[in-house]
Chains A and B, each alone.
Chain A
Amino acid sequence: MSQQTINYQQLAADLNAIKAATWQQVGTADAQYIRRLIRWQRGAEILGRITLMLGFFSLWWLLPGMLLLAWAKIVDNMEIGHNVLHGQYDWMNDPLINSQTYEWDIAADAGSWRRIHNHEHHTYTNIIGKDRDFGYGLLRMSDDLAWRPKNRWQFITYLNLSLLFEWGVAYHELAAERVFKGRKKANRTSALSDDALKRMFFSKAARQLFKDYVFFPLLAGPLFVPVLLANLGANLIRNLWTSTIIFCGHFTEDVQTFHADDCANESQGQWYHRQMLGSSNLTGSRWFHLMTGHLSCQIEHHLFPDIPARRYPAMAAQVEAVANKHGIPYNSGSFWTQYRAVLQRLWRYSWPDKAVKEPSQPSA
């Protein structure tokens, strides 16, 4: 195993140097970028809602309206919401672009999501049993979990999860099994009661449903059903896109998993190492990176979750050089290559471990 030969102290020093050099550059350009992007996103959202109303003249208007709205939702969720909620722009000291106050256009309420995601998923990345994002409790994505007959249909489960992703995330990040079924985690301190969490979940969900499926359709009067369907379409497009990007970041073929005792009392260098093994990158154009909220640079995001994400592509080359220096695999590829790897992994773990090795199995 290469783990034995890695100089963790040196690894931490190398990555901390990249981090410090990047923080030195963060400033006016980043503040202008996020403010400009918020203007574009809100502009697209308003224009999208107006374009849907043009359906009075021709139903063809519903298509560009739906796409504009989907774009606005994706950018709000990925490049703005996700990154602001990580605290990447808190240094601006701007109360409207702040991880503690930002709310996004998605079913999960920002506060609950931030509390669980940043803590469990980013601290305990890919540790089986601690990072509940690994498979979302629905999918078997590694042989750490014993095969069960229901895994045979997990490809279909995956498609459903992708389409309904925002609701899956909202329910899951709420730590629903804790809140609704009363299972407690010992290591967690929270000032919030389960009732408060439930109230936040339902009130956010109600607001989202009201907006897309009651208010704007009613505003369209006779176009109630077409506008409702276009809003539904925009939400589904967003769900598919976000779920696909996120699966490409953590569930490609070579991404590794960990056990709690591997990681007890780990040093910063070991934590960095685990983040690099537990993530994979997508290559693409500037626009592609923006649309993924720079989760296309999942490795850099996991190493430096609170650096403004637009800095990740520039950091990626340096991180890859550090990975090569220390002999750590750096998992990067085009969208289609990585997505195929996700589907292969999904397929592989649909079946009992030995079955996949038999040549007769259609192992995709």
Chain B
Amino acid sequence: MSRSLSAKSMSSWLSQALTNQRRWGDYLAPFRPWWQPQKSANLHGTRVVSVRAESDRVHTYVLQPDRRWPGFVAGQHVAVQVELNGRLYWRTFSLSQAPSHWQQTGLIELTIQTQPQGTVTPQLPTLLTAGSRLRITPAHGRFTAPKTTAKALMIAGGSGITPIRSMLQQWVHQNPTHDITLLYYNAGREPLFKAEWSALEQSMPHFRAVMIDTETSGLIQPQQLLSHCPDLSQREVFMCGPAGMMQAAHEQLLGLGLDPAQLHQESFGQAAVIPANAGHDGEPVSVHFSQSNKSINSTGSHTLLQLAEQADTLPNSGCRAGICHQCKCRKTKGLVYNTLTQQHSDTGPEDIQLCVSIPLGPVSLEL
């Protein structure tokens, strides 16, 4: 006991001695409603106020976070925790309205598109109705609007419009004369918030919104970018969309002579195609070990345990057959295939058994 007498470590030692929990709050946590986390968990209880259908597969959820929720900057996202069939899932969504709206009303909006193959998003319209509860994190993200009034080009793909809508709503109040061009790409679908874009053009004299349907006009390409925005090289570029589109836009804009510092982007979804079963022989996938700060590339169907051992990250291991759970480790992101259950993992954070898991894309492990 003599090694540390600080009040905090005393309290933690006592909590461990008396309750076997590192924090007192964890002992009493089961007595709280699940959506109302204790302060130390850095999560926030949230109530669904109303739900708006934007289209047949896009819904906007109006949420009221608890009073401790610290607010956000336009363009940031939150992680949402929902329980489906007894299991907790995390999903990240951009806040789709301006911070000033939250400051005035205490409400935030998440605009969420149903992923037909998804585990979580197809359930959300039935799970989250007015009055239901969920947990969210504080807002995160570096894809944010700068305070400068430099001319901007915004490129959005599909539901990637949400953080850009947040930025535009913020700017229409702060600086209506801001010179902004929006290129909004959709694949054969109605643009989201369609009525808002023409309304914005009314209230912001230098705002132009161009709706592009990739099924008729083709995918993003340099000539098309230039024809819609001839002075793009003088603009700060903000773009958000599916990973493949973002990668293409990034390369094309650099090719048009833009400086990397001008480009701000956020992407979502898997860039690579997911193989149907384990053991891919194509592109190498990278596995990152965050605690030892090491990385390794995998080609072929090595297990994460083999890869972790090759990378010399000293993983625990036991039976090497998925029985003993000794090698279990936190995956922070990435898709893996479990050879024992023959199931694909979730893409978000969860614990996996290294000895029976094969990475199918870039994976980060807390090891």
Contacts and interface: CB of A to CB of B under 8 A. Distances in A.
A32 B86 contact: yes
Interface stretch (A59-67, A114-122, A155-163, A281-289): A114-122
B295 interface: no
A211 B314 CA distance: 35
Interface string B230-269: 0000000000000000000000000000000000000000
B27 A191 contact: no
Given A118-B324, A215-B17, A31 B316 contact: no
A190 B317 CA distance: 7
B129 to A, nearest CB: 18
Contacts, number: 96
Nearest to A306: B325
A191 B30 contact: no
Interface string B20-40: 110000111111001000000
A142 interface: no
A357 interface: no
A294 B204 CA distance: 68
Contacts of A114: 325-326
Given A90-B328, A98-B351, A122-B324, A211 B18 contact: yes
B272 to A, nearest CB: 24
A318 interface: no
Interface stretch (A35-43, A231-239, A246-254): A35-43
A84 to B, nearest CB: 11
Contacts of A35: 30, 34
Contacts of B21: 103
Contacts of B89: 93
A99 B31 contact: no
A38 B34 CA distance: 13
Interface string B72-116: 000000000001011111000000000000000000000000000
B340 to A, nearest CB: 10
Contact of A39 (B13, B18, B30): B30
A119 B318 contact: yes
Contact of B351 (A27, A86, A100, A215): A100
A207 interface: yes
Interface string A181-194: 00000000111100
A279 B88 CA distance: 34
B71 to A, nearest CB: 26
A93 B87 contact: yes
A162 to B, nearest CB: 24
Contacts of A23: 341
A123 B351 contact: no
Contact of B83 (A31, A96, A99): A31
B296 interface: no
B315 A191 contact: yes
Contact of A118 (B29, B30, B325): B325
B323 interface: yes
A273 to B, nearest CB: 15
A94 B30 CA distance: 11
B86 A90 contact: no
A13 interface: no
A96 B26 contact: yes
B199 interface: no
Select the residue from B28, B325, B351 with max chain A CB neighbours within 10 A. B325
Contacts of B321: 123
Contact of A42 (B30, B86, B317, B318): B30
A292 B325 CA distance: 22
A27 B85 contact: yes
Contact of A26 (B16, B86, B323, B326): B86
A320 interface: no
B86 A92 contact: yes
A275 to B, nearest CB: 10
A191 B316 contact: yes
A103 B20 contact: yes
B133 to A, nearest CB: 16
Nearest to A124: B319
A55 interface: no
Contacts of B28: 42
Given A93-B88, A119-B319, A87 B20 contact: no
Given A28-B85, A215-B17, A190 B324 contact: no
Given A35-B30, A190-B316, A123 B88 contact: no
Interface of A: 23, 26-32, 35, 38-39, 42, 86-87, 90-94, 96, 98-100, 103-105, 114-115, 118-119, 122-123, 189-192, 207-208, 210-211, 215, 305-306
6 pairs of A and B residues whose beta carbons are closest in the complex: A31-B86, A119-B318, A27-B85, A207-B17, A118-B324, A103-B20
